[in-house]
Structure 1
């Protein structure tokens, strides 16, 4: 044991008083804190309170045998990291397999050899400490990812009510992905809006995403920069592609949908690079329909000197535009299948039939109702809603 750590606590569960006495004395002489229990239920109760580093449990006990004690211990999230040693006179391979299936980490044979006991205890506690250290590192990493997610969220624009009503929903996954989006007006006429998704997860995906956002945010305030016009989506994607090649970005690439809305002409010009299509919801003769807005184009950064195309469409009245990442529809459903883009499109049409501009919290709840437990949000989820007024 390291001198800067408190002695490890070990729990002994055995219905034989002689074995309990022997193990308690031997382990105390080795410098460990020891608790004892005379049967399985008592052992589980003590373990729940004390959360020992290691448990030695007899296999053959009345009522609750060692296998069942082991199963219950390993099913408890807080106790599952305790190193579990089954004390047994059984030596057959089938018995060991049965013990391993129950969750046992090690076996100790009867009669107990003091040297073997010491060696197995020390080995088990080394593994326990390694797991504890890994858990601490995992918790630190998760805290950093939460901080990074909060930072990404702080960069997102504020919702708008005029001249277009713009709302959004952003749910970063526990691993933090590369989703990012932005929208802002250039003067009173042009609305710039885009969404991007960097490949991978973690800080390695989030940082390039923020870099692209900051670049676009700092340059698109001016209508022109250098040799290309930021009001032309295809030129923007070509410039990004030349500036963010995978070989220079740790093999990271990203997808993007970029659009410019001309308020005066009620026209939307857009281009995409490998990103899911935007959906334009329009109504004619009291029937809502969804039009996919996408242009040919591979993700940004895969190949140099790529040429992207853009499309300009008329925006009727009424019309609502949705930008989103694939996390909004690529999740496992309660029926063990992937939900899919078509299902999301149908949900939007049905929602608009009930309300011209559905509230985003209501839409998200409807989407989540199709997801299996913990499936929604396993990847970043971004959804931007623009109601043209």
Structure 2
């Protein structure tokens, strides 16, 4: 059974109330009020009103005041109000519309015109409520997706391998994800994915890629071989099947037995490795293999590189959103600037400093507020003993 829309008619003249009720009763449920106070009481206690027909000239509280109060309360401020009055001056109509009314019908009422306008505004209000509800549901789904992405982020590691990370999406749903996990007792996988764009599409692709890595579900893929992983991802996620979206990735494996790192990357910024025989003597290496992003082209050959590690090592893997900022001097930071910054401030081989990196980058931004891109950074300290 279809529920009739509910209209509240407000007029201090009973004859006018009877006239409007007679016009509307076949298609609408009609409620009546003979004063502004009674109208407010009905409006504030009845959540089902679909429209209010409001007379202006009433004793004690006129229609303008009723309209102001309705628009000031969040429970009633969305209900469409049509002024129904004998006044026909242009300035009176302008005042009513400025207070939030959606239309103005003058007396004596022309039934066809009044009914047409009422029908139009009730339909618009219905569409508006449906839009608001769909936006609410979408916001809930986006929030659930954001929580899920957050749940994929790893717990800190302690011991010979220590970890820290920062992950701040620039919007509700970002396109970055990071992780690490022990593939077996001797091999630790380390990875960071950065999907082009943001929002639902980017998040879905990001989740799919990270889950494929975590669950080791790629076909014919050796997850201890970075080049094999990138090849498997490239075959699984061609951009023509992902709404023209692609992603960059840095993927490495720490080989515990040989105390070495093997890595490969696809269109991703280089990782930064600080390494030294002791805590005071260290060198910087940038780790990249270049190449195209995942999904851009089929049959790509990915290269992997082995890096021997020293007694003390610190690895930073990050997305381009970490350094692509406009600084307070107006200069755009680039990857070389960021690498130098890390060398000057964050090369202590004994300390996890990802949170300090985040605060430093925030302090250099020319504006307070969210980053223009997702900020994703994973830090690992890997010691021989």
TM-score (norm 1): 0.67
Residue pairs, 1:181-200, within 5 angstroms: 181-200=178-197
Q: Give the match for residue 267 of structure 2.
A: 274
Q: Give the match for residue 305 of structure 1.
A: 299
1:384 aligns with 2:369: no
Residue pairs, 1:279-290, within 5 angstroms: 279-280=272-273
1:237 aligns with 2:230: yes
From 133, 137, 145, the equivalent of 2:134 is 137
- For the residue of structure 2 that corresponds to 1:192, the secondary structure is strand
State the alpha-carbon separation in 1 of the partners of residues 145 and 377 from structure 2: 19
Q: Give the match for residue 261 of structure 1.
A: 254
State the alpha-carbon separation in 1 of the partners of residues 43 and 57 from structure 2: 19
- For the residue of structure 1 that corresponds to 2:302, the secondary structure is coil
Give the C-alpha shift of residue 158 in structure 1.
Answer: 2.6
From 24, 31, 34, the equivalent of 1:33 is 31
Q: Give the match for residue 88 of structure 2.
A: 89
1:209 aligns with 2:206: yes
Give the C-alpha shift of residue 193 in structure 1.
Answer: 0.6
User: Judging changes above 3 Å, is the alpha-carbon distance between structure 1 residues 86 and 188 closer, same or farther for their aligned structure 2 residues?
Assistant: same
Give the C-alpha shift of residue 84 in structure 1.
Answer: 4.6
- Shifted more, 46-55 versus 153-162: the winner is 46-55
How many residues align? The count is 368
State the alpha-carbon separation in 2 of the partners of residues 289 and 133 from structure 1: 60
User: Judging changes above 3 Å, is the alpha-carbon distance between structure 1 residues 99 and 35 closer, same or farther for their aligned structure 2 residues?
Assistant: closer
TM-score (norm 2): 0.68
- For the residue of structure 2 that corresponds to 1:32, the secondary structure is strand
Residue pairs, 1:1-389, within 5 angstroms: 4-5=2-3, 7-8=5-6, 10=8, 22=16, 26=20, 30=25, 31-34=29-32, 38=36, 53-55=50-52, 73=71, 81-85=78-82, 89-91=88-90, 105-109=102-106, 112-170=109-167, 175-201=172-198, 203-219=200-216, 226=220, 229-263=222-256, 266-280=259-273, 293-313=287-307, 319-325=313-319, 346=341, 350=345, 356-358=351-353, 360=355, 376=370, 382-389=376-383
Preserved contact between residue 183 and residue 224 of structure 2 (Cα < 8 Å): no
Write out per-residue CA displacement over residues 102-125 of structure 1, whole angstroms, 9 at most, x where no aligned residue. Answer: 765444456654432332122111
User: Judging changes above 3 Å, is the alpha-carbon distance between structure 1 residues 271 and 117 closer, same or farther for their aligned structure 2 residues?
Assistant: same
State the alpha-carbon separation in 2 of the partners of residues 145 and 314 from structure 1: 42
User: Judging changes above 3 Å, is the alpha-carbon distance between structure 1 residues 131 and 357 closer, same or farther for their aligned structure 2 residues?
Assistant: same
User: Judging changes above 3 Å, is the alpha-carbon distance between structure 1 residues 304 and 136 closer, same or farther for their aligned structure 2 residues?
Assistant: same
Preserved contact between residue 192 and residue 250 of structure 2 (Cα < 8 Å): yes
User: Judging changes above 3 Å, is the alpha-carbon distance between structure 1 residues 248 and 34 closer, same or farther for their aligned structure 2 residues?
Assistant: same
State the alpha-carbon separation in 1 of the partners of residues 34 and 344 from structure 2: 64
- Shifted more, 139-148 versus 312-321: the winner is 312-321
Write out per-residue CA displacement over residues 190-240 of structure 1, whole angstroms, 9 at most, x where no aligned residue. Answer: 32111113345555444433332333234399xxx84x7544423422332
User: Judging changes above 3 Å, is the alpha-carbon distance between structure 1 residues 181 and 358 closer, same or farther for their aligned structure 2 residues?
Assistant: closer
Give the C-alpha shift of residue 385 in structure 1.
Answer: 2.8
User: Judging changes above 3 Å, is the alpha-carbon distance between structure 1 residues 356 and 214 closer, same or farther for their aligned structure 2 residues?
Assistant: closer
- Shifted more, 193-202 versus 102-111: the winner is 102-111
Preserved contact between residue 261 and residue 307 of structure 2 (Cα < 8 Å): yes
What are the ranges of 5 or more consecutive residues in structure 2 without an aligned counterpart? none
User: Judging changes above 3 Å, is the alpha-carbon distance between structure 1 residues 321 and 105 closer, same or farther for their aligned structure 2 residues?
Assistant: farther
Larger radius of gyration: 2
- For the residue of structure 1 that corresponds to 2:292, the secondary structure is coil
Write out per-residue CA displacement over residues 270-307 of structure 1, whole angstroms, 9 at most, x where no aligned residue. Answer: 33223344444679997999876444222211111223
Give the C-alpha shift of residue 22 in structure 1.
Answer: 3.6
Give the C-alpha shift of residue 379 in structure 1.
Answer: 6.5
